[in-house]
Amino acid sequence: MKKLSTLLTAFSLLVSITLCPSVTVGATGDPAIVVSSGSAYAGENVTITVSLRDNPGIQGILIDTHYDQTRLELVSETESGMFSVYGTSANITVHPFNTTWTKNYGTGEVTGDGVLVTFVFKVKDTAAPGFAEIRVDSRGKATNIVNSLFQSVAFDFIPGGVTVLPCTIIIDEDNSQSAGDSFIVYGTLYGAWSRFGFEVTNEDPDGREEEEINSAGYEWSAGEFGGFAGGKFGIRLTGSAFKNLTEFWFHLFAFDGSDYVHDGWTRFEWEK
């Protein structure tokens, strides 16, 4: 973020603009400020851009960025350098987050399209699956987007957002393998989990009663049996009952804060 003097320069120009007569300038095409979209699991970061499209030429712009605070947390912002002066809210936690751009007076207008600013949002660990909207506006004032003659330039505002993906479990069957007198099941948890565990049976669970094996112990090669914000894991299955098996069925189950999810039963075969 720029120093206070830079911020004052940006804001003073915009204030002077708002005092001038407002004349809406027509333009070919449909000038728009566009918010991109992305997807992520709870606990992950996602990058979102705010861009100019079909820009007819502007010298100053002020926009506020609004986002779903129940699902998203703003982590950082990076300005692209399209304008010579850039200013933002004093703190990244301010909502809506304010950004201003100006081009030094007498140096013409910015006429190109492209990214104005890049935001990084974290999807909160407690975020429910669904779409978290991110939108921008100019506070309802046409005079907050102007050309070099201090005339208002009309822009549409196109929202975007983040699709919060449901928590998912994937077992890596190809890399799960025997290790001496034990077997390691590898996989990946996507999303933020409050707790999880596993079950093993020595009979096909489809249509028959499950018989859970009380193995003597287990080891996590990553994470822990409790809260875990996604990532790869490995579970080492051991115990006298397990050692006598040549095949078994395994599934991991987890609780994402709202519901239990499991990957389904996976059959493994291994040689002694």
For the chain, domains (ranges, CATH) are 4-165 (2.60.40.680), 168-269 (2.60.40)
Determine the pLDDT at residue 93.
93
Q: How far is CA 163 from the centre of its chain?
A: 8
Instruction: List the structure tokens of 140.
Output: 């309802």
Count the neighbouring beta carbons within 10 Å of the beta carbon of residue 142. Answer: 16
Render pLDDT for 67-97 as a digit per residue (tens, 0 to 9): 999 999 999 999 998 888 888 888 999 999 9
Q: Is the peptide bond before 129 cis (omega within 30 degrees of 0)?
A: no
Q: Calculate the average pLDDT of the chain.
A: 79
Instruction: List the structure tokens of 15.
Output: 């204030």
Choose among 223, 217, 203, 218: nearest CA to 265: 203
The pTM of the whole model exceeds 0.85 = no
Question: For residues 252 and 230, what is the distance between their CA atoms, to the nearest angstrom?
Answer: 14
The mean per-residue pLDDT over the stretch 44-48 comes to: 96
Q: Which residue has the higher pLDDT, 261 or 151?
A: 151
Determine the pLDDT at residue 25.
39
Let me know: does 49 contact 37? Beta carbons within 8 Å. no
Let me know: does 48 contact 134? Beta carbons within 8 Å. yes
Determine the pLDDT at residue 73.
97
